[in-house]
């Protein structure tokens, strides 16, 4: 008789049913932990997807070819000169490409009549931004008005802070790359719904307007952002581009997984002038916030570990009780010819069955809870928005993580149930049969 | 007839803390194939210990226990389990059925452990036996839905389902009323006669001894004699008379 013998499972199932109160309490606890794990993993997926959405819409492609131009050793600017040649290399060397856009990059003070805010500015050619159109949800104004040379788009939270509405005029004050300060008046043409925390400091303006602000020619841009058909191809594309660009005579910065604005100091300390390109990916550009995901993962791991310990002790206790109650039965089964391995399998089957039933139920509950919470459009407090990268709670349970949660907790429960089961199997038939109690 | 059980100079000791208790003190016994034998003696005399050794659920401290020609002292735990499965059937005083299984499943269980018969053959065998013990209509009942006598019949069917050479019964009628007990013994006896299965059962009830071919007397861990059931019953009655006289005199 093996672990797969139907009779063992019949005994296991009916034994659980016979002690239904105990089974229900423990099963509910296991289901609760599973639901929690599904919800937490769903929250991570939600956070990661929101982060990906924010990052790849607002400040990064899947892969970016950007870099710095230095007129003098200590005056680096986030500029790619002669970007059309780079674009031609990308078009010929990256068959994985879906589309590519060029964005200007700037960092300036945005001043309204009632307030001011330091913001990052993306120079955008809206006629060539299919992804941007799909993702950015316009609350007020028109996205197409970004074709106007002084048109500007900001996000809701920024609009509230600056006290502006569509049609208002604002002033941008920015130090140019040549070391002087420049100002330009812009008209707010669109206000978009917030997209996570990254939208709190990103703004967009017409790319010609940005060139005018920074006094750049038409051959220069801030970055070429590559969007791939399959995001999992980021690493090979990134490595290939580094190799091909170097072979084509471009100078490249050493690989550095930080966002471009964190590299100014180190670039300005280096003793070179001219152009150096930098090939980064979306994770590099958002590495400054990825620690949040890491911290949440660690926190959830600890929580799950503690809960599993508690559940584990519960499982052990229930198995002990079950074995104590059924010691005479074990003796009888051993007497009639059941081998030790079969006794072990019988009790492990009981633990496994309890685990499978409870975790499947818990998985379903977790999915329902996640979907329910997401559909409830629960607004998050500002401090939580920082963590969740979204103004609303978004929990996205995936099949992989649901199956992982169910499988992982069932496996742990099965492993835990082996210990008392093993000791039950070691009992001599005569010892077990003469057990009193 | 050839011997199916041979016991030579068997000693069984238990440790109770620092004290060593001798449950059997040099027992010798031979049981032939097809016998319907009773082991009789007062409580604590060693009947159950002797049955446990023959049933290979316990091992002797010293001496030789041979079952179906195999010296049990030289067998591994796995071999002993296989010997129990294929050679011995057990009938317990408290029936010892698996409470969560149906009547059919309880009886089928040893066949599943053997893994020799197809599902169809198992069904045929189990239903045939349950018909013999009068429980064909109770296949799907659970043990707690049966009377004591019915449960013991299920236990008998389970003991016989593998066609064992020996059936061991430890006070099989102790938890039954006299009428049911008699019916159970009739059943065991008829199976013994039809199939030639060796039955060894313990009892201290003289009404039960009448059914045996022979009665082995055991007292203080020693076999004191082997006698016919008529003699055994006569001795029992004498003992009862003596004890009642002593009670009256006191």
Of A157, A166, A161, the residue nearest A186 (C-alpha): A166
A15, A331, A342 member nearest B100 (Cβ): A15
pLDDT at B143: 93
**Closest residue, chain A, to B85 (C-alpha):** A337
Of B191, B181, B182, B185, the residue nearest B160 (C-alpha): B191
> For the residues A211-239, what does the mean pLDDT come to?
91
In terms of C-beta distances under 8 Å and separation of at least 24 residues, what long-range contacts does A270-274 make, across chains too? A270/A73, A271/A73, A272/A70, A272/A73, A273/A70, A273/A71, A273/A72, A273/A73, A274/A69, A274/A70
- Cβ–Cβ below 8 Å for A429 and B101: no
pLDDT at B134: 84
**Closest residue, chain A, to B108 (C-alpha):** A7
The residue that leads in pLDDT, A249 or A318, is A249
> For the residues A291-299, what does the mean pLDDT come to?
79
Cα–Cα distance measured from residue A138 to residue A143, given in angstroms and rounded to the nearest whole number: 7
Q: What are phi and psi of B141, to 5 degrees?
A: -75, 150
Using the predicted structure, report yes or no on whether residue A203 has a pLDDT greater than 90: yes
Cα–Cα distance measured from residue A308 to residue A311, given in angstroms and rounded to the nearest whole number: 5
What is the least distance, in Å, from the CA of A26 to any CA of chain B?
20
Strands A151-155 vs A181-192: parallel, antiparallel or unpaired: parallel
Contact assessment for residue B56 and residue B88, using Cβ atoms and an 8 Å cutoff:
yes
The residue that leads in pLDDT, B146 or B178, is B146
B57, B81, B105 member nearest A433 (Cβ): B57
Residue A187: strand pairing partners: A151, A169
Of B247, B245, B199, B209, the residue nearest B230 (C-alpha): B209
Using the predicted structure, report yes or no on whether residue A326 has a pLDDT greater than 50: yes
Cα–Cα distance measured from residue B26 to residue B36, given in angstroms and rounded to the nearest whole number: 23
pLDDT at A35: 93
Residues from chain A contacting residue B110 (CB–CB below 8 Å): 336-337
A236 alpha carbon, distance to own chain's centre: 21
Distances (CA, A) of A406 to A30, A37, A201, A355, B244: 10, 9, 40, 8, 70
321-360 in A: which are within 8 Å (CB) of B? 328-329, 331-340, 342
Cα–Cα distance measured from residue A277 to residue A260, given in angstroms and rounded to the nearest whole number: 11
* SS3 call for A57: helix
Cβ-based neighbours of A365, under 8 Å, separated by 6 or more? A31, A34, A35, A38
Using the predicted structure, report yes or no on whether residue A294 has a pLDDT greater than 50: yes
At B70-114, the pLDDT tens digits run: 999 899 999 999 999 999 999 888 888 988 889 999 999 999 899
Contact assessment for residue A356 and residue A15, using Cβ atoms and an 8 Å cutoff:
no
**Closest residue, chain B, to A326 (C-alpha):** B98
What pLDDT band is residue B174 in, cutting at 50, 70 and 90? confident
Q: Which two tokens stand for residue B65?
A: 């226990």
Contact assessment for residue A54 and residue A195, using Cβ atoms and an 8 Å cutoff:
yes
Contact assessment for residue A71 and residue A273, using Cβ atoms and an 8 Å cutoff:
yes
Q: What percent of chain B has pLDDT over 90?
A: 48
What is the least distance, in Å, from the CA of B183 to any CA of chain A?
24
- Structure letter (DSSP) for residue B137: G
Cα–Cα distance measured from residue A76 to residue A327, given in angstroms and rounded to the nearest whole number: 79
Half-sphere exposure of A162 (CA within 13 A, CB side): 29
The residue that leads in pLDDT, A293 or A232, is A232
- Cβ–Cβ below 8 Å for A1 and B100: no
Cα dihedral B138, B139, B144, B149 sign? positive
B55, B98, B108 member nearest A335 (Cβ): B55
Q: Which two tokens stand for residue A73?
A: 């050793």
pLDDT at B250: 47
Residue A118: strand pairing partners: A109
- Cβ–Cβ below 8 Å for A336 and B158: yes
Q: Which two tokens stand for residue A175?
A: 């130090």
Q: What percent of chain A has pLDDT over 70?
A: 97
> Best mutation site among A19, A336, A429 for testing chain B: the one with the most B CBs within 10 Å?
A336
- Cβ–Cβ below 8 Å for A430 and B109: no
Using the predicted structure, report yes or no on whether residue B24 has a pLDDT greater than 90: yes
Contact assessment for residue A282 and residue A55, using Cβ atoms and an 8 Å cutoff:
yes
The structure tokens 């700037």 sit at A106
Contact assessment for residue A221 and residue A65, using Cβ atoms and an 8 Å cutoff:
no
**How many residues can be counted in chain A?**
437
What pLDDT band is residue B242 in, cutting at 50, 70 and 90? low
Cα dihedral A275, A278, A279, A283 sign? negative
Of B79, B89, B174, the residue nearest B133 (C-alpha): B89
* Angle formed by the axes of helices B103-114 and B148-160, nearest 10°: 20
> Best mutation site among B86, B94, B100, B155 for testing chain A: the one with the most A CBs within 10 Å?
B100
Using the predicted structure, report yes or no on whether residue A49 has a pLDDT greater than 90: no
What is the least distance, in Å, from the CA of B158 to any CA of chain A?
9
> Best mutation site among A335, A342, A427 for testing chain B: the one with the most B CBs within 10 Å?
A335
Cα–Cα distance measured from residue B77 to residue B58, given in angstroms and rounded to the nearest whole number: 11
Cα–Cα distance measured from residue A218 to residue A176, given in angstroms and rounded to the nearest whole number: 16
pLDDT at B237: 67
DSSP string across A237-255: HHHHHHHHHHHTT--BPPP
- Strands (E) in A135-254, as ranges, are 138-141, 151-155, 169-175, 181-192, 202-206, 223-228
The residue that leads in pLDDT, B9 or A316, is B9
Residue B175 zone, left/alpha/beta (φ > 0; ψ -120 to 50; rest)? alpha
The residue that leads in pLDDT, B94 or B4, is B4
At A146-183, the pLDDT tens digits run: 999 899 999 998 999 999 999 999 999 988 766 678 88
- Cβ–Cβ below 8 Å for B113 and A1: yes
What is the overall mean pLDDT for chain A? Answer: 87
To the nearest 10°, the Cα dihedral for A165, A170, A173, A178? 100
Strands B70-71 vs B62-67: parallel, antiparallel or unpaired: antiparallel
CB contact burial B154-181 (16+ within 10 A = b; e otherwise): bbbbbbbbbebbbbbbbbbbebbeeebb
Of A358, A366, A307, A379, the residue nearest A45 (C-alpha): A366
B52, B109, B162 member nearest A430 (Cβ): B52
The residue that leads in pLDDT, A313 or B80, is B80
Cα–Cα distance measured from residue B120 to residue A45, given in angstroms and rounded to the nearest whole number: 52
- Cβ–Cβ below 8 Å for B101 and A430: no
Residues from chain B contacting residue A337 (CB–CB below 8 Å): 81-82, 84-86, 110, 113-114, 162
- Cβ–Cβ below 8 Å for A329 and B113: no
Q: Does A16 touch chain B (CB under 8 A)?
A: no
- Cβ–Cβ below 8 Å for A1 and B77: no
Which chain B residues have any C-beta within 8 angstroms of a chain A C-beta? 52, 55, 57-58, 77-78, 81-82, 84-86, 90, 92, 96, 98-101, 105, 108-110, 112-115, 158, 162
Contact assessment for residue B180 and residue B149, using Cβ atoms and an 8 Å cutoff:
yes
Cα–Cα distance measured from residue A373 to residue A369, given in angstroms and rounded to the nearest whole number: 6
* SS3 call for B147: coil
At A356-384, the pLDDT tens digits run: 999 999 999 999 999 999 999 888 887 77
Residues from chain A contacting residue B58 (CB–CB below 8 Å): 428-430
What is the least distance, in Å, from the CA of A336 to any CA of chain B?
6
Q: Which two tokens stand for residue B228?
A: 């016919």
Cβ-based neighbours of A227, under 8 Å, separated by 6 or more? A56, A61, A62, A97, A98, A99, A100, A101, A131
Predicted ipTM > 0.90? no
- Cβ–Cβ below 8 Å for B100 and A332: no
């Amino acid at each position: 008789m093996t672990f797969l013998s139907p009779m063992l499972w019949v005994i296991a199932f009916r034994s659980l049913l016979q002690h239904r109160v105990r089974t229900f309490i423990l099963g509910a606890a296991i289901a609760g932990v599973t639901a929690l794990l599904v919800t937490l993993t769903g929250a991570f997926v939600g956070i990661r997807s929101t982060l990906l959405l924010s990052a790849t819409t607002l400040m990064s492609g899947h892969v970016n070819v950007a870099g710095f131009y230095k007129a003098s050793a200590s005056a680096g600017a986030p500029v790619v000169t002669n970007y059309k040649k780079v674009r031609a290399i990308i078009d010929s060397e990256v068959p994985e490409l879906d589309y590519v856009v060029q964005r200007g990059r700037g960092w300036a003070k945005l001043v309204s009549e009632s307030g001011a805010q330091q913001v990052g500015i993306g120079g955008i050619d809206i006629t060539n931004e299919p992804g941007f159109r799909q993702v950015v949800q316009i609350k007020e104004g028109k996205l197409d008005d970004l074709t106007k040379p002084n048109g500007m788009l900001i996000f809701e939270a920024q609009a509230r802070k600056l006290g502006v509405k569509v049609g208002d005029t604002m002033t941008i004050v920015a130090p140019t790359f040549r070391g002087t300060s420049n100002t330009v008046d812009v008209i707010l043409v669109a206000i978009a719904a917030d997209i996570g925390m990254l939208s709190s400091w990103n703004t967009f303006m017409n790319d010609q307007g940005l060139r005018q602000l920074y006094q750049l020619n038409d051959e220069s841009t801030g970055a070429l952002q590559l969007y791939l058909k399959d995001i999992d191809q980021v690493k090979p594309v990134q490595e290939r581009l580094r190799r091909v660009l170097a072979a084509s005579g471009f100078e490249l910065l050493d690989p550095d997984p930080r966002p471009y604005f964190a590299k100014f100091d180190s670039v300005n300390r280096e003793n070179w002038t001219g152009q150096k390109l930098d090939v980064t990916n979306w994770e590099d550009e958002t590495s400054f916030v990825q620690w949040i995901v890491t911290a949440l993962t660690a926190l959830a791991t600890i929580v799950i570990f503690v809960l599993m310990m508690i559940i584990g002790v519960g499982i052990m206790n229930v198995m002990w009780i079950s074995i104590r109650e059924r010691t005479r039965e074990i003796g009888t089964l051993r007497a009639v010819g059941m081998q030790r391995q079969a006794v072990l399998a019988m009790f492990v089957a009981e633990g496994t069955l309890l685990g499978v039933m409870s975790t499947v139920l818990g998985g379903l509950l977790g999915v329902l809870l996640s979907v329910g919470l997401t559909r409830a459009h629960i607004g998050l407090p500002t401090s939580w928005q920082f963590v969740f990268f979204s103004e609303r709670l978004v929990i996205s349970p995936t099949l992989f993580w649901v199956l992982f949660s169910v499988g992982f907790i069932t496996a742990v429960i099965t492993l835990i149930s082996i210990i008392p089961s093993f000791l039950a199997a070691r009992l001599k038939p005569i010892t077990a049969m003469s057990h009193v109690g | 007839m050839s011997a199916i059980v041979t016991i030579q100079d068997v000693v069984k000791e238990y440790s109770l803390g620092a004290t060593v208790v001798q449950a059997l003190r040099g027992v010798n016994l031979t049981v032939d194939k097809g016998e319907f034998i009773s082991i009789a003696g007062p409580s604590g005399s060693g009947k159950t210990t002797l049955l446990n050794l023959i049933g290979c659920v316990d091992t002797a401290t010293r001496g030789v226990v041979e079952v179906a020609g195999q010296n049990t002292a030289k067998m591994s735990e796995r071999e002993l389990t296989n010997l129990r499965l294929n050679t011995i059937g057990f009938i317990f005083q408290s029936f010892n059925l698996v409470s969560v299984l149906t009547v059919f499943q309880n009886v089928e269980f040893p066949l599943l452990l053997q893994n020799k018969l197809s599902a169809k053959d198992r069904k045929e065998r189990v239903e045939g036996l349950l018909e013999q013990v009068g429980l064909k209509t109770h296949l799907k009942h659970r043990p707690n839905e049966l009377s004591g006598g019915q449960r013991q019949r299920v236990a008998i069917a389970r003991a016989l389902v593998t066609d064992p050479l020996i059936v061991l019964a430890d006070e099989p009628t102790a938890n039954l009323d006299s009428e049911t007990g008699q019916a159970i013994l009739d059943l065991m006896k008829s199976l013994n006669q039809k199939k030639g299965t060796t039955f060894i059962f313990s009892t201290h009830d003289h009404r039960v001894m009448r059914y045996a071919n022979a009665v082995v007397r055991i007292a203080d861990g020693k076999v004191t004699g082997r006698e016919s059931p008529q003699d055994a019953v006569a001795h029992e009655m004498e003992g009862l008379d003596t004890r009642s006289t002593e009670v009256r005199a006191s």
